[in-house]
A and B are shown apart, each in its own frame.
Chain A
Amino acid sequence: MSLVVTGLSIASILLLVALGLAIIYGVTGVINLAHGELVMIGAYCAWALQSFFGIGLLASLPLIFLATALLGWIIDRVVIRHLYNRPLDTILATWGIGVMAQQAVRLLAGGELRYVEMPEAMNHPVSVLGVEIPIFRIFILGLAVALFGLTWFLIFRTSLGLKLRAITQSREIASCFGINSNRIYGLTFAYGAGLAGLAGAVVSPLKSVAPEMGTTYVVDAFMVVVLGGVESLVGSVASAFIIGQSSSAVAFYANDTIAKALVLLFIVILIRFRPQGLFAAKVRS
């Protein structure tokens, strides 16, 4: 039982980190290697707001979302915009941006580890089905589900989402109908970056905050997106669940490192046989 709960906890964090990446990748085709750094910046925002302005973690979440979204929008307008037709080069450019972000944070906030305090109300465990779990873990799970729901609503129930889906299918034809694809791309990137910032903020009390923390997240998040299928939101949820559960199960029998290696190998094999991912959206072509 505790295995399943641990797996669920890993999965919810993975989903939070991967959701923004999945949206950016699915809509614009940009491989955003700076995603991990956006997560890291979100975590640092949480730390800065807490230690300089005394704003608690929960209250600072909307601010962090806006700040990282704005940053994402700027990155898109200045750099990524020019590379929409060169997907492989986006890997390189975003990695360069990631390097800059890492070093900039190191200069501004110092290289040492930072700690963010857990919200007072969530600092005690509750018993769920016979397992003691911290409320904060449940909160993360809830937030992941809520953000997934919000994203789903934005994409499938708003006019903005309709335009977005049109662009994903065919950018040229969507443009012919007067949809400003440039603007939508920018907004998508900003939204994805905002989600990354949120993810960083909520994981900050669980792990120490450091300039290098992003690198580990980005590889994991990629695996979630690729496993799930690029254009499928539901796929991201399912694959985050699968990866979370299998990591915690293998870690129980071997150790964390072996678990991670095996899960990665499994994903490599999966990409080979299903490059479209487990839950590819059916698109008429």
Chain B
Amino acid sequence: MRNRDLIQYLTYGTVCLIIFLVPVFVQDAFLLNKTARYLVLGILAISLSLSWGYTGILNLGQATSFGLGSYCMAMALKLRTIPVHTGAEGLPDFMVWNNVEKLPWFWEPFYSMPFAIAAGVAVPALIAAGLGWFMFRGRVTGVYVAIITLAFLVVVNLLFIDQQRFTGGFNGITDLAQLDIGSFTFDAYGASSYYLIAICLTFCLFFALLVTKSKAGLILQAIRDHENRVRYFGYDVARYKIFAVAVSAAIAGMAGMLYTIVMEFASPTFMGVQLSLSVVIWCAVGGRQSLLGSMLGAILVAGMQGALSESETFLDTWTLVMGLVFVLVVLFLPKGLAGAAETLKDRIFRKFGRSSKAMAKSPGEATPRPAASRPT
């Protein structure tokens, strides 16, 4: 293992460790729930970083996957509340209101929690792979990918709002049971859900990191930097891109499921244009070419947004400030905060590295290697 990789693994591990230690210091249930929500958004940002930062596919519809995952979990949790709300043989309450006679066939399998969890990952991945197949086989690139994914998001969102009988329409699916596996119940406001999310976050972060370090991951980065060159080498570029969006969608779907668990509802806003573009902001601010940067960007921006929108003084001006910060980041820090940190780190290392290496080696070898200066 190279030295650089080791440092990266250690940094990632330390951040995860800090996340695991939070409940020791935060006892307030409400605050813990809020932190857990930001962590889920962090997972969502990781998923976009994988497709945008590492593969160069600007997916403006990342929230589609998030929303689908969220609805899968919500359907399963909704079915568990039926005995409480409308009697053992009944339907979910909103179906009763909408005069649905019989549980629709696609709701049936969600009585099984393992199926729901599998669906929450597989459905977004399959849909993303299908859309990816459709786009990348036709060599659609750049701006057109952004427009297609955005349009697709709007379509899915409109359909979910329109099919009120099956999806709860504008309100989404509310009044959910808490997730229980075996005899253990995950309380949305307790440490149990927090740890569940922290474990999933750590898993996703390292899984994504391993993907980027694998051969496929390296090819993905090569595609980002120069697609045609990779094609001329004989690689099937479309297949690698489909792989990237599918993995990214699976992670986003998982984030969606977790979001339903902590929020205790699913809403069409989870697959709205607003959220979808917010993810892009988080990644851009944190640094889209760093998984950790994107994740921290999400936690930072969403966390600040949460904190400031609750305080009286910044209630109105916060969005204005956020827009400004975002424009400045795009203009001056194209690689986000992670990119800025990297540059800073290199500068410091170069300073020390030069003096120590110059003494040990001949002057010719002392020139510092251009670390982290990836072409963009």
B161 with A222: CB separation less than 8 A? no
> Is B330 touching A88 in the complex (CB atoms < 8 A)?
no
With CB as the reference atom, state the residue of chain A lying closest to B280: A92
Report B-chain residues with C-beta under 8 Å of the C-beta of A104: 320
For chain A, the bracket of interface size reads 35 or more
**Interface pick from B23-31, B76-84, B152-160:** B152-160
Q: Which residue of A97, A223, A258, A272 is within 8 Å of B327 (Cβ)?
A: A97
When each residue 249-285 of chain A gets 1 if its CB lies under 8 Å from chain B and 0 otherwise, what string results?
0000001011011001101100111010000000000
Interface size on B, residues (CB 8 A): 39
User: How far apart are the CA atoms of A257 and B159 in the complex, in Å?
Assistant: 7
Chain A residues whose CB sits within 8 angstroms of the CB of B348 once the complex forms: none
Q: How far is the CA of A223 from the CA of B58 in the complex (A)?
A: 18
Q: Is the CB of B327 within 8 A of A79?
A: yes
Output the least CB separation between A142 and chain B (Å).
Answer: 30
B144 within 8 A of A: yes
A121 contacts which chain B residues (CB < 8 A)? none
- Write out the residue numbers on chain A whose beta carbons fall within 8 Å of the beta carbon of B331: 79, 82-83, 93
Q: Which residues of B contact A257 (CB under 8 A)?
A: 158-159, 161-162
- Give chain B residues whose Cβ lies under 8 Å from the Cβ of A87: 142-143
Q: Is the CB of A100 within 8 A of B327?
A: yes
Pairwise interchain contact A96-B326, C-beta atoms closer than 8 A:
yes
Cβ–Cβ < 8 Å partners of B327 in chain A:
79, 93, 96-97, 100
A167 at the interface (CB under 8 A from B): no
Say whether A103 faces chain B, with CB atoms less than 8 Å apart: yes
Chain B proximity mask over A47-90: 1 for CB below 8 Å, otherwise 0: 00000000000000000000000000000000100110011110
A24 at interface (Cβ–Cβ under 8 A)?
Answer: no
The answer to whether A92 and B319 touch across the interface, beta carbons within 8 angstroms, is no
Task: Find the residue from A93, A98, A260, A273 having the highest chain B CB count within 10 A.
Answer: A93
Nearest CB of chain A from residue B78's CB, rounded to whole Å: 23
Contact among B140, B284, B324 for A92, CB-based, below 8 A: B284
A261 pairs with B273, CB closer than 8 A? no
Within 8 A of B (CB), among A78-126: 79, 82-83, 86-89, 91-93, 95-100, 102-104, 106-107
* Residue of A with least CB distance to B60: A91
> Which residue of chain B has the shortest Cβ distance to A31 in the bound complex?
B143
A160 interface residue (CB < 8 Å to B)? no
Task: Find chain B residues with CB under 8 A from A267 CB.
Answer: 151
Is the beta-carbon distance between A273 and B155 smaller than 8 angstroms?
Answer: no
Which has the most chain A C-beta neighbours within 10 Å: B146, B281, B323? B323
B151 touches A264 (CB 8 A): yes
Q: Is B140 a contact of A100 with CB atoms below 8 Å?
A: no
**Chain B residues in 8 Å Cβ range of A89:** 330, 334
Known: A106-B316, A273-B138. A100 touches B324 (CB 8 A): yes
Choose from A99, A106, A223, A265 the contact partner of B322 (Cβ within 8 Å). A99
Is A154 an interface position by the 8 A CB rule?
no
Contact B326 A222 (CB under 8 A): no
Taken together as a complex, chains A and B put the C-alpha atoms of A87 and B58 apart, in Å, by 12
With a cutoff of 8 Å between Cβ atoms, the chain A residues found around residue B140 in the complex are 271-272, 275
Q: Is A226 part of the contact surface with B, judged by Cβ < 8 Å?
A: yes
Task: Pick from A82, A265, A275: contact of B155, CB below 8 A.
Answer: A265
Identify A219's interface contact among B134, B150, B284, B334, CB under 8 A. B150
Closest CB-CB distance, A76 to chain B, in whole Å? 13
- Asked if A215 is an interface residue, CB under 8 A from chain B, the answer is yes
* Chain A residues with CB below 8 A from B330, complex form: 83, 89, 92-93, 96
Contact of B277 with A by CB under 8 A? yes
Cβ–Cβ contact B155 & A261, under 8 A: yes
Picked from B151, B154, B161, B320, the residue with its CB within 8 Å of the CB of A103 is B320
* 8 Å CB contact of A91 from B134, B146, B317, B319: B146
Q: How far is the CB of B75 from chain A (nearest CB, A)?
A: 21
Whether A219 pairs with B317 at a CB distance below 8 angstroms is no
The CA-CA distance from A261 to B147 in the complex, in Å, is: 14
Contact B143 A88 (CB under 8 A): yes
The proximity string for B residues 112-152 relative to A, scoring 1 for CB distances below 8 Å and 0 otherwise, is 00000000000000000000001100101011101110111
Given contacts A79-B331, A223-B151, contact A275 B144 (CB under 8 A): yes
Q: Which residues of A contact B150 (CB under 8 A)?
A: 219, 222
CA distance A83 to B334 in the complex (A): 11
Q: Closest CB of chain B to A249's CB: distance in Å?
A: 17
Known: A89-B334, A264-B151, A268-B151. A96 touches B324 (CB 8 A): yes
Centre residue among B60, B144, B317 by max chain A CB count within 10 A: B144
- Chain A residue nearest to B135 (CB atoms) is A272
Determine if A219 and B273 form an interchain contact, defined as CB atoms under 8 angstroms apart. Answer: yes
Q: Which among B134, B162, B277, B320 is the interface contact of A272 at CB below 8 angstroms?
A: B134
Apart from A91-B58, A100-B319, list 19 A-B contacts with CB within 8 A: A31-B143, A31-B146, A86-B334, A92-B284, A95-B280, A96-B323, A98-B323, A99-B322, A100-B324, A103-B320, A257-B162, A258-B158, A258-B159, A264-B154, A265-B155, A268-B152, A271-B140, A272-B138, A275-B138
What are some 8 contacts across the A-B interface (CB < 8 A)?
A79-B327, A89-B334, A92-B280, A93-B330, A95-B281, A255-B162, A257-B158, A264-B158
